[in-house]
Amino acid sequence: MASTRRDLRDDRGSVLPLVIGVVVLVIALVTVVTDVSVLWLQRRSLQATVDGAALAGAQAVDLPTVYVGGANGDLRLSPSAARAAVRSYAAAVPSSRRLTAFRVARVTVTAATVTVRATAVARPPFLTWVTGSGVTVVAEASARTTTG
């Protein structure tokens, strides 16, 4: 009976499960924070690239229309020149080469607005290690021409 009471009061080793639990929690938090940070940075880089491409496309003004009718209000865009400017910008900017599987998915040109949508694949280190594949990130931007 004396040994049973002594065993109940002996708390050696009871901190070990707590330490293991805290270590597992810290590793899980570091993993999630790292992967979310990679996704956020990739999305931010893609958005910056798409913003620049939309602005490049919005500068493709239909010059013959401006020369004939003047430059008042919204400037008309040349759809073919705007698409070419978007593709040229996307090919030239370094961030598009750093983004994995970067692709301009859609370029929409109206009379005075260019909208660009692009995709890329982000590869967060821990998620990619677990799943074997990345996460597709999408960004879209619009730019409008105007004289005022």
Q: What is the pLDDT of residue 23?
A: 94
Comparing C-alpha atoms, which of 104, 116, 114 is closest to residue 146?
114
Q: What is the pLDDT of residue 98?
A: 83
Q: Please give the average pLDDT of every successive group of 10 residues along the chain, which has 148 residues.
A: 59 78 93 90 92 91 66 75 92 85 92 92 84 88 82
pTM assigned to the model: 0.76
Question: Residue 134 CB: number of other CB atoms within 10 A?
Answer: 18
Q: What is the pLDDT of residue 14?
A: 75
Q: What is the pLDDT of residue 76?
A: 79
